[in-house]
């Protein structure tokens, strides 16, 4: 499972890492667990893994989507409710057009983390 200590993975909170990965690219394919970029990189999206005993901190990926336009901006919104449940969503933009491409849903009590991890698998060209 990808986490902040794994080489080749980034957290939803790593704004610079996400921008570097997505800006200037397009998302050509999406499955239940992966996104494929136009440069051949396959991104495996993992929900945060939380407590082994109580279920806190577990986030499930409920949406992955393509985006055929060249991505010019990326935004991650953490929408936590007072009950500690909520969504972490990643949006991409191009020329005024925006789309939600990743949604992770779950809950956390403040101890186990939220959101998602992106594991980067290079399959074609570097960059």
pLDDT digits (tens, 9 = 90+) for 87-112: 899 999 999 899 999 999 998 888 89
- Cα 127 to Cα 124: distance, rounded to the nearest angstrom: 9
- Judge whether 127 lies within some domain: no
Closest CA to 71 of 90, 46, 47, 88: 90
Phi–psi pair at 18, nearest 5 degrees = -65, -45
Predicted structure pTM score: 0.84
8 Å CB contact between 102 and 90: yes
Nearest to 122 by CA among 44, 12, 55: 44
Taking only the tens place, the pLDDT of each residue in 68-89 is 999 999 999 987 665 566 889 9
Establish if 2 belongs to a structural domain: no
Q: Is residue 3 part of a domain?
A: no
CB 41 within 8 A of CB 122: yes
Rounded Cα–Cα distance for residues 46 and 121 (Å): 13
* Domain with 89 in it: 9-121
Number of domains in the chain: 1
């Amino acid at each position: 499972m990808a986490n902040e200590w794994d080489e080749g993975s980034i957290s939803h909170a790593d704004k610079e890492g996400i921008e570097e990965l997505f800006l200037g690219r397009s998302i050509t394919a999406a499955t239940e667990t992966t996104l494929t970029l136009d440069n051949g990189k396959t991104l495996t999206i993992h929900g945060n893994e939380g407590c082994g005993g109580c279920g806190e901190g577990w986030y499930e990926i409920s949406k992955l989507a393509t985006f055929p336009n060249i991505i010019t901006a990326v935004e991650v919104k953490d929408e936590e409710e007072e009950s500690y449940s909520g969504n972490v969503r990643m949006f991409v933009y191009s020329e005024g057009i925006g789309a939600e491409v990743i949604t992770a849903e779950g809950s956390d009590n403040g101890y186990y983390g939220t959101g998602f991890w992106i594991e980067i698998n290079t399959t074609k060209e570097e960059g």
